[in-house]
Structure 1
């Protein structure tokens, strides 16, 4: 039985408190500044005002679903329970998100779609917004491999070692505006950190180093800490995390400047058990990654601690973070929950109608937020909503008329 986890779900009292907080912060003196815009709105506009968007009292979760074989792209509104067309995607493309925008990555670049659902975190409170979804445009390049965002920049890294920096505030307004093109991004993903870009490049002795560049691509400095055999990255509230052969490299802002520190493994990790990529709740500080056939790595960025949970082979994995379980989807189609602290299995339930494929074209994923998880059932043409606080109870299932082989959650 999963105990003491109901606190992750928002209560009526919590929502009321949030509403009072939002009402009370209208005169808090920040002038209604839109995150990432760098411009203040008129003093007559309420705090948190965003033109063309409706502010809500709770998270406006939406799922962007794609059929990698026939190119269907749709939006499932989890508040209204309705699905609507969003556009077309290139066949075989991959879906990723930064919490608001869905990026359809293919051999020709990235199609950018605004899901119309997002959150702005002001530290002591948050604002939730909803607007009409729309296609923004395409960032051209030779096979997009990575897309990462901050409130100021979005970085696209391509397979040929090039990258483009795009103004994120312009994306919010429906425009693609490049700030720089890089031709030496061949050592790993370029990731924004606030208004700067972290660019992995080849360093002395074959070890990857990370350069800090401005929005125009000009080098500011090189971080002292090295990251051998860099692969995989994640954006968290604390900072940017890169996966390294000897652990992880955390880069955060300290007194307005990028500061790097290593989070080493507590053991020697074989090549086949190293993380290739990370999964986490949007901006969450609990990162998860398969550890080969042995289990799952969990990196607590706040505590600077790695844990290996021996689940056996998994098809998908994720966690909403502190106070919630590690979720692992087995190849049998069974979803399992584990206590992160001691690795104990606490629940298991058959979720998929069949087995879980590990092929990229039909691989299932687990998306998580503060109280629910979502798993795409490719064979059944459904998406299952799971209450991970209640014995992995299946709260709802949504049927679609296409194969949901790609899925990302926005509004977080």
Structure 2
């Protein structure tokens, strides 16, 4: 049983210093531009000086810290040291990211903001800050944002923390964020997905076995559950709010009222990592068939149709890793292969649409924490890490060309992006 405590007023750590006093930059967008992250929310500092500024920033983890980069030029905006193995996730507000440490989700303010001003927008940027504010969590795990709510899962306790997009609008006020907290029956490597209307979808399991998922309404009452998903892992949201969770024999689909099984073609057909898009009812997933492999290097990916609960398998002719899956601006399925190319698939048919050469051929390392090429999509740009060259590439997905490459001062590992 999943238990909920609502409302719970748990305050976050509140010892962050004020934002850095570096110069604040701003630029006017063309008339009619829509508001972006934090639009018309954070008041700009009184000494803000107007100047041209890029509104996208990229965050890259490395062994010993995180880099914040300009999304257009890849210039290093800041280098923030932090010990331990680090992971990075969007915080859900278009401005901040969550950095997973050993015992918390730390809040990194990238400093980008858009403020509506009449018939145009003002773009502001301040110095990034790795704040002291954190969501405490034993073994921080998956982070999911859906329906303007971000959900954090702590594998060490099974505790789930959920907060709304507006709760992070002002970095100085993070001590006022009081996440709703839910408790799993047992600790496990899980995930929780916020649902429209205030409900949630969460995995079921313990330290040794994961069996399925349950859906709860806004009051914490159970709507439905399924035990038909052995080894449940990962989640993605598709068009119309359908949710896919991976299993060792396919996937399960939540359509808002019930769970449906999408059966794999093989007795063991594991889908553990997924990428969804609001532009497509198809979810892109990995696909592995060897339950005894220490490291399987699959060449097939799965396309899970949330409407029919069926799975199409596509052989790429090259292997890939769990950091290889992404979606394009129109819902295209993108897979970064070990041949060094981004393979662009039509999710509805599985047909190869384009092959974009980006990096040299590479081999997936045996340890999952070790750097390997990773892909992050923001708008019509794909950002691809090149650990062997300590570089990051920018790919224009509309033209299929690499438009920028920059060597960075540390070997990049995981990526996240913010801004407009």
**Structure-1 separation of matches of 2:149 and 2:163:** 5
Structure 2 residue matching 1:92: 3-state secondary structure:
coil
Question: Where does residue 198 of structure 1 map in the other structure?
Answer: 201
Match of 2:170 among 154, 169, 173: 173
Question: Where does residue 65 of structure 2 map in the other structure?
Answer: 72
**Structure-1 separation of matches of 2:150 and 2:414:** 21
Structure 2 residue matching 1:170: 3-state secondary structure:
helix
Question: Where does residue 380 of structure 2 map in the other structure?
Answer: 371
**Structure-1 separation of matches of 2:182 and 2:66:** 29
* Within-5 A mapping of 1:220-259: 220-223=221-224, 227-229=228-230, 230-236=232-238, 238-239=240-241, 240-245=243-248, 247-251=250-254, 258-259=256-257
| RMSD of aligned residue pairs (Cα, Å) | 4.0
Offset at residue 384 of structure 1 (A): 0.7
1:139 paired to 2:144: no
Between stretches 152-161 and 393-402, larger displacement belongs to 152-161
Structure 1 residue matching 2:32: 3-state secondary structure:
helix
**Structure-2 separation of matches of 1:119 and 1:189:** 31
Structure 2 residue matching 1:52: 3-state secondary structure:
coil
Structure 1 gap ranges (5+): 1-14, 24-33, 36-47, 121-126, 253-257
Structure 2 residue matching 1:259: 3-state secondary structure:
coil
1:210 paired to 2:218: no
**Structure-2 separation of matches of 1:118 and 1:242:** 33
Structure 2 gap ranges (5+): 1-28, 116-120, 289-297
1:164 paired to 2:176: no
**Structure-1 separation of matches of 2:159 and 2:124:** 30
Structure 2 residue matching 1:402: 3-state secondary structure:
coil
Offset at residue 397 of structure 1 (A): 0.9
* Within-5 A mapping of 1:265-280: 265=263, 267-271=264-268, 273-280=269-276
Structure 1 residues 181, 209: closer, same or farther in 2, change over 3 A? closer
Contact 2:65 2:86 in 1 (8 A): no
* Within-5 A mapping of 1:50-89: 50-52=41-43, 60-67=55-62, 69=63, 71-79=64-72, 81-85=74-78, 87-89=80-82
Offset at residue 234 of structure 1 (A): 1.9
Question: Where does residue 299 of structure 1 map in the other structure?
Answer: 304
How many residues align structurally?
A: 354
Structure 2 residue matching 1:361: 3-state secondary structure:
coil
1:107 paired to 2:102: yes
Question: Where does residue 335 of structure 1 map in the other structure?
Answer: 342
**Structure-1 separation of matches of 2:122 and 2:202:** 31
**Structure-2 separation of matches of 1:60 and 1:227:** 44
Question: Where does residue 395 of structure 2 map in the other structure?
Answer: 386
Contact 2:151 2:163 in 1 (8 A): no
Contact 2:334 2:342 in 1 (8 A): yes
Give TM-score, length-normalised by structure 2.
0.70
Offset at residue 346 of structure 1 (A): 4.7
